[in-house]
Structure 1
Amino acid sequence: MTRRLLIVHSAGDFREAWRLREQSGGEVYYGHSYILDELARMAATFDEAGYLAGSAPVYDERLPSGARVLGAGADPYADPAPTLAAMARFAPTHLIVHGPIAPLLRWGLQNQLEVGCVLADSFHIDPVRRWLRHRGLPRLLNDPGITLVGNHGVNAARGLVDLGVRPDKVIAWDFPHARSPADFAPRQLGPAGPRRLFYAGLIVRSKGVGELIRAVARLKPTRDVRVSIAGAGRVDAYRNLARRLGVADRVEFLGLVPNTQVLEHMRQADAVVVPSRHAFPEGLPLTLYEALTSRTPLIASDHPMFRGHLRDGESALVFPAGNARALAAAIERLFDDAALYERLSRHAADAWQRMQCPVKWGTMIERWTRGDPSDLAWLRSHALDAGEPQ
């Protein structure tokens, strides 16, 4: 029997990711090299294995590994038709939809495929917005025809259950992490001088970039705090905000930084800030892992996806999301207390360990596609109703 696996995501460009790795050995987004390696393994066991990114330019290419990478040219959330057409041309027998993209999932069910849904999304948002955006998702994911449901991290997986998805179907997954806090010694607060913050991520309102810049402006009369911002998005808007607040000389925009360099930037900074607002659909942001790995003290918002992982005053400083005044106070608190600074750096390893998830993306998909009784039992043993991951 022919077996054809297609993984579909709204974003990502794996043709470009492969080219970048061939040219430099690096990656812009963490996990892309890992996914390319997993696709190569899948290509060896399927007649076809492909990764389709809806928003990527239109292409269909075969990599030297044998895996196919495809682009549909349109965001499937806004316009699913081009992605659906590319899916039909590929003619999969096994379909993984990487995101809560209902039209793609329904297409798989209508065509009686083996269907899985793998997410990296938070559903802890305003209840009205959540109902409007996802009111049909629990019923769809509970359909017996969708036999794999995963979300990135335990808190995100619990969010699916809170939404109404059966806990016996939901698995918390993660990518493997090659580096850990054990690779670095705990840090101590350096001598007086300009204090440097680092942020990596989308440059948009819901990621808290505005609060970060406003916090730097609040601190300007009393101390020299500077921030380097890595990522893409509304750079011009936030550069203008820094100019209006009089801190253009203290806010540096680095553009997209290869993931292999993010850890180095974090090590050079005095603190890492993850100021996400609750409205941003975080799953389990890799920036948290990287900050804890670097041992550079972390200042983070109280986003629901961080709950249980970070302990205020022990492994991070936690402030109310969306509150620039509270963020500025947390920055002052960190740089006024050398013992606190050292404690956060030392306990980063404990927080990193709490965030570990035993189910890895590639293993989860491999076991699901293989479908032997032992594989199905393994998947079942990692569902949320089987107990929290240890």
Structure 2
Amino acid sequence: MTRLLIVHYAGDYREADRLRRATGGETYYGHGYVLDQLAAWQAKHEAVGFLCSLAPSYWETLDSGVTVIGADTNPDQDPVPVLALIERFAPTHLIVFGPMLHLIRWGLEHDVRLGVIMADSFANPYYRWVRFRRLPKLLNDRRVTLVANHGANAARALVGIGLRADKVLAWDFPHDRTPETQACKARASGPPFTLLFVGSISAKKGVGDLVRAVALLKDRLDVRLDVAGLGATDKFAALATRLGVADRVRFLGLVPNGAIPAMMQEADAVIVPSRHNFPEGLPLTLFEGLASRTPVIASDHPMFDGHLEDGESALVFAAGKPRALADAIARLMTDPALYARVSQGSAAGWHRMQNPVKWGEMIDRWVRDDAEDRAWLSAHTVAALDGPA
């Protein structure tokens, strides 16, 4: 009988289930989808579990029969509690979600069917050559029977650090919010012009660059910035004060995912300013920004390459350059023709980002593992996607 365990670095699926039962909503995009997939698998298999390493310590069974587990530990710094919980669950099938080397090694050393799924870019040299220099050898091992990364560019990045192209897949969640459901925008509604950032609040995500861009625009353009998410809020609120734009920057805290589409539609621009050293896979904010038809201003992060066309489906600026970001904001807000063109072109960008391999089907086929499933997985690897070199 199949005992499937998925191990995450962060998250808390006990809380995600509680929230959905209480409100019908979700804090983060995809939580409801994952819970539904887990419940469907539980109905077919002996046991299905989801372990979140950083979540508070618990071991509970949801109404669906799915086991949710919290380890209350950082698996990179202290993997022992996580490994003990894995052994207690006794999986026949183990998916390690993220480049958690200790857990991958455990899977290789035990008689389990092992898969590794990620949402990391490995564009950062530190990730590639220092922290994860041993990752390619581990994942190329024949005992790792599923390797996938979030988005085509992220999958190719794994090949770039030494993984076999015929082994790596690009995956995604389904995206029900599409640009076809929204009207195009003819021009910005300001001044004041409203900018929206959604994501983790950190320097690598470009929040400092965005606050500095607002400061650079102080005497050029009347802009207001809303920042939704958790992280180093105090640090960047202090930066806004120091730069004299505290009255132009609002930190909203964690906003439920269901409220984000309306916020994006009401904004004049959605900003995705990730620096190259942030290990993006393919941020969901980018999908939702494009689907909202509000023009997106995004950095030139390698994981966005090929999806966004500057001046057509988005405005693209040099990552880590606040002045370049400020210029892009000013250019968009003062040129109605450009604004309308980017809003119109957002649909093309959204469709370029779509991926036929969805998280649930990919795992379902990997667990079932019949000849048709193996052929389907093989047909969606980077080698099949890109063809002969």
The match for 1:300 among 283, 294, 298 is 298
Instruction: Trace 1:32-181 onto structure 2 (pairs within 5 A).
Output: 32-126=31-125, 128-181=126-179
Deviating beyond 6 angstroms after TM superposition, the runs of 4 or more aligned structure 1 residues are none
**1:75-116 Cα shifts (integer Å, max 9, x gaps):** 112211111111010000000000011111111111121000
Count of residues in correspondence between the two structures: 387
Gaps of 5+ in 1: none
Cα drift, residue 192 of structure 1: 4.8
- What does residue 312 of structure 1 align with? 310
- What one-letter code is carried by the residue in structure 1 that aligns with 2:212? R
Counterpart secondary structure, 1:277: coil
Cα drift, residue 193 of structure 1: 1.9
Cα drift, residue 190 of structure 1: 3.9
The match for 2:246 among 227, 232, 248 is 248
Cα drift, residue 129 of structure 1: 4.8
Q: 1:362 to 1:192 in 2, by over 3 A?
A: closer
Instruction: Trace 1:331-342 onto structure 2 (pairs within 5 A).
Output: 331-342=329-340
- What one-letter code is carried by the residue in structure 1 that aligns with 2:354? Q
- What does residue 326 of structure 1 align with? 324
- What one-letter code is carried by the residue in structure 2 that aligns with 1:66? G
- What one-letter code is carried by the residue in structure 2 that aligns with 1:122? S
Q: Distance in 2 between matches of 1:114 and 1:371?
A: 11
- What one-letter code is carried by the residue in structure 2 that aligns with 1:113? V
Asked if 1 retains the 8 angstrom alpha-carbon contact of 2:270 and 2:295, the reply is: yes
- What one-letter code is carried by the residue in structure 2 that aligns with 1:84? L
1:381 partnered with 2:375: no
Q: Distance in 2 between matches of 1:328 and 1:204?
A: 19
Q: Distance in 1 between matches of 2:290 and 2:143?
A: 39
Counterpart secondary structure, 2:204: helix
- What does residue 186 of structure 2 align with? 188
**1:259-297 Cα shifts (integer Å, max 9, x gaps):** 111111111100000000001000010000000000000
- What one-letter code is carried by the residue in structure 2 that aligns with 1:183? T
Q: Distance in 2 between matches of 1:122 and 1:192?
A: 36
Cα drift, residue 221 of structure 1: 1.0
Counterpart secondary structure, 1:161: helix
Q: Distance in 1 between matches of 2:31 and 2:279?
A: 20
Cα drift, residue 44 of structure 1: 1.0
- What one-letter code is carried by the residue in structure 2 that aligns with 1:344? V
**1:136-192 Cα shifts (integer Å, max 9, x gaps):** 000000000000000000000000000100011000000001110000010121455
Query: What TM-score does the superposition give when structure 2 sets the normalisation length?
Result: 0.98
- What one-letter code is carried by the residue in structure 2 that aligns with 1:231? G
- What does residue 263 of structure 1 align with? 261
Q: Distance in 2 between matches of 1:191 and 1:284?
A: 29
Counterpart secondary structure, 2:241: helix
Root mean square deviation of aligned Cα: 1.0
Q: Distance in 2 between matches of 1:303 and 1:157?
A: 15
Cα drift, residue 388 of structure 1: 4.2
Instruction: Trace 1:197-236 onto structure 2 (pairs within 5 A).
Output: 197-236=195-234
Gaps of 5+ in 2: none
Counterpart secondary structure, 1:206: coil
**1:193-219 Cα shifts (integer Å, max 9, x gaps):** 200000000001100000100000010
Q: Distance in 1 between matches of 2:263 and 2:7?
A: 32
Residue range with higher mean Cα deviation, 297-306 or 184-193: 184-193
Q: Distance in 1 between matches of 2:379 and 2:160?
A: 20
Q: Distance in 1 between matches of 2:251 and 2:386?
A: 40
Cα drift, residue 53 of structure 1: 0.4
Q: Distance in 2 between matches of 1:238 and 1:329?
A: 21
Q: Distance in 1 between matches of 2:25 and 2:278?
A: 27
**1:116-146 Cα shifts (integer Å, max 9, x gaps):** 00011111112x5521111100000000000
Cα drift, residue 336 of structure 1: 1.1
Cα drift, residue 387 of structure 1: 2.2
**1:14-72 Cα shifts (integer Å, max 9, x gaps):** 00000010111111111111000000011011100000001101111111111111101
Asked if 1 retains the 8 angstrom alpha-carbon contact of 2:191 and 2:223, the reply is: no
Q: Distance in 1 between matches of 2:109 and 2:283?
A: 33
Q: Distance in 1 between matches of 2:189 and 2:379?
A: 51
Q: Distance in 2 between matches of 1:191 and 1:339?
A: 14
Q: 1:190 to 1:163 in 2, by over 3 A?
A: closer
Counterpart secondary structure, 1:347: helix
Q: Distance in 2 between matches of 1:191 and 1:163?
A: 45
